[in-house]
Amino acid sequence: MGNGAQADCLIPTTKLIAVRIIQCYNTDKRDANKRKGGKHMNPVYEKLLKCYDCYKEKIDFEPKVAVVLGSGLGNFAKTVDVKAELPYSEIEGFPVSTVPGHAGKFIFGYINEIPVVLMQGRVHYYEGYPITDVVLPTRLMKMMGAKILFLTNASGGINPAFHAGSLMLIRDHISCFAPNPLIGPNIDELGTRFPDMSHVYDEDLQEIIKGTAKENDIELFEGVYAQLTGPSFESPSEIQMLHKMGASAVGMSTVVEAIAANHMGMKICGVSCVSNLAAGMNSAPLTHEEVQEAANAVAPKFEKLLSESVTKFGNVL
């Protein structure tokens, strides 16, 4: 992407000065409020606001749909009318992905006139970040303006009907051993203390995705996704446990992000790429390379499903 592609969203000097004045005012006001009533501002929320200020200083773009690109979807950005990019490393205090295949930047642009922000590379709990940092990108994308969160990932298949390359619409989830990102003092500015989790994955969005898959003759399973912490793959006994609990696929991400997004009132949907059968389902050992290869192989139809579904999300925004 050349410099011209980013020009539309880079902030002009005069506007930048105005933005900085507003930010200084907000910062002074925020500092004054830290001790209001003898209370300090929640450090998690304070860090989020600093990241948001950094984004506003650098990017003039308001997305409506946020997409987290999992393994194998790193090239999806090539299908987007890109207007600007923002590397995570240029956002103060922002966690940076250390996993191979995760580029580590936000991409802003349009999918058939729908303004989107793509998260090209996510951070995981197993990388050593506190769980509040793992969900910070999700919270930040909501603050940017995104109303819908489309989560994608690579997973291990537990349902015996799955095969490497199967796509699964996430109908519900199970959190196993990963800490809940809402633990600690509630950030009232983001959401309620005890959010309902009965319908995390929006039914209208699910119908759009299922309809899009049918129109394009893309096989799409449905099921329950379970998140464990990683980074080690699951043991055969853990897979048996998850199967008995009703899980269809397992991975090391997504659920905590969905919890944080639900807390903030976002509409959520998700599709998982089953890149391998989980431990104990076959005799071959599991490797990250196998996950990456399978995800890359199914990428073209996954990208088509993602692109056309997001386009239709315009009807529910």
Query: Is position 71 annotated as part of the catalytic site?
Result: yes
The first and second tokens of residue 53, run together, are: 């200020």
Catalytic member of 42, 71, 97, 166: 71
The candidate with the shortest Cα–Cα distance to 27, out of 16, 15, 37, 19, is: 19
> Is residue 276 annotated as part of the catalytic site, yes or no?
yes
Check if 252 is active-site: yes
Active site residue 283: no
Choosing from 124, 173, 243, 263, the catalytic residue is 124
- Name residue, tokens 């853990």: 238
The active-site residue out of 248, 276, 296, 309 is 276
- Catalytic option among 97, 253, 272, 296: 253
Which one from 45, 126, 290, 303 is the annotated catalytic residue? 126
Residue 124 designated active-site:
yes
- b vs e for 260-287, b when ≥16 Cβ sit within 10 Å of the residue's Cβ? bbbbbebbbbbbbbbbbbbbebeeeebe
- Residue 126: active-site member: yes
Task: Name residue 271's beta-bridge partners.
Answer: 152, 169
Active-site residue identified among 102, 173, 243, 263: 102
Q: Is the dihedral of CA 263, 46, 137, 117 positive or negative?
A: positive
Per the residue annotation, which of 66, 77, 164, 252 is the catalytic one? 252
253 catalytically annotated: yes
Question: Is 263 a known active-site residue?
Answer: no
| Residue 245 CB partners (closer than 8 Å, separation 6+) | 174, 226
Point out the catalytic residue in the list 42, 55, 77, 127.
Answer: 127
Q: Given 141, 154, 213, 299, which residue is catalytic?
A: 154
Catalytic residues: 71, 102, 124, 126-127, 154, 252-253, 276, 288
